């Protein structure tokens, strides 16, 4: 099975911590040259130092805020002006928790720009190079809420579903160029995002953090949270030549928690 990414260039968004960093590290282990995009330059430099260079890769980074102020587009344009990109990993933090009934139009508009609009801009920037190379992998890190909405994540559920629909539409259009588009759907994963959600639930329900964690784990058939590396392994496979006929899918990586086939 060919999973080598030697000679390939990858852009990984939200790559200074959690799942994004784990994905970048795994891609570098497989030989890819990685360009990291995130908003904190100090954290970007630290993340860069953690990437494998066993294939003499010269990794890089760009500072970019995904709030819709144009930084993400400027960053990707500076990269594709010098390199053809073979792999794009769209990944950014989810919207704040809360019911959809109390969400404002600003909440929805901001989430739409941060997730779907930025994905569109980044993808449009890398597609010409992917077509020229005859190889492309667009991987979106979304959420299992694409399959079944998650309580108290109203805006996130809405936007994640929109991204999944966008990705499926895109996969139908670009598959003919040997460019695949797939979604990885993490379940409860040991990240700062999960930690903040647990703290919020504990505070709201006046429970201890340990109690909330235990209750959440009981909903997962494997009775534990996932590791960022376990999500990254699936993303890395999808980025590889071995996944050449996997296109237009949404793959839960959640220990079996999602209650659908």
Q: How confident is the model at residue 18 (pLDDT cuts 50, 70, 90)?
A: very high
Query: Domains in the chain and their CATH numbers?
Result: 9-187+227-253 (3.40.50.720), 191-225 (no CATH)
The residue among 45, 47, 39 whose CA lies nearest residue 19 is 47
- At 68, is the pLDDT very low, low, confident or very high (cuts 50, 70, 90)? low
In this prediction, residue 184 has a pLDDT band, given cuts at 50, 70 and 90, of very high
Predicted TM-score (pTM) of this structure: 0.96
Per-residue pLDDT tens over the stretch 107-156: 999 999 999 999 999 999 999 999 999 999 999 999 999 999 999 899 99
- Tell me: the pLDDT tens digits for 21-43? 999 999 999 999 999 999 999 99
Sheet with strand 60-63: strands edge to edge: 60-63, 33-38, 9-13, 87-90, 136-141, 179-186, 250-253
d(CA 169, CA 259): 25
Q: Once rounded to an integer, what is the mean pLDDT over residues 58-62?
A: 97
* Contact (Cβ atoms closer than 8 angstroms) between residue 216 and residue 198: yes
């Amino acid at each position: 099975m060919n999973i080598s990414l030697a000679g390939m260039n990858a852009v990984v968004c939200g790559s200074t911590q959690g799942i994004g960093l784990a994905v970048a590290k795994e891609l570098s282990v497989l030989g890819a040259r990685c360009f990291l995009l995130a908003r904190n330059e100090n954290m970007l430099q630290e993340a860069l130092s953690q990437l494998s260079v066993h294939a003499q890769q010269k990794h890089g980074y760009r500072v970019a805020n995904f709030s819709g102020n144009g930084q993400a587009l400027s960053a990707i344009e500076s990269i594709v002006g010098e390199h053809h990109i073979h792999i794009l990993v769209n990944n950014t933090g989810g919207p704040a928790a809360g019911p959809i009934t109390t969400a404002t139009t600003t909440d929805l508009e901001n989430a739409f720009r941060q997730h779907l609009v930025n994905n569109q801009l980044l993808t449009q920037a890398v597609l010409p190079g992917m077509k020229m190379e005859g190889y492309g992998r667009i991987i979106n890190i979304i959420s299992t809420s694409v399959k079944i909405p998650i309580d108290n994540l109203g805006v996130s559920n809405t936007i994640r579903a929109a991204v999944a629909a966008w990705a499926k539409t895109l996969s139908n259009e670009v598959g003919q160029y040997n460019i695949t588009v797939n979604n990885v759907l993490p379940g409860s994963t040991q990240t700062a995002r999960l930690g903040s959600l647990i703290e919020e639930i504990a505070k709201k329900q006046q429970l201890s953090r340990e109690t909330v964690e235990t209750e959440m784990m009981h909903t997962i058939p494997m009775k534990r949270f996932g590791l960022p590396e376990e999500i990254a392994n699936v993303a890395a496979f999808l980025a590889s030549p071995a996944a050449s006929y996997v296109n237009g899918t949404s793959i839960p990586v959640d220990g079996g928690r999602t209650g659908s086939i």
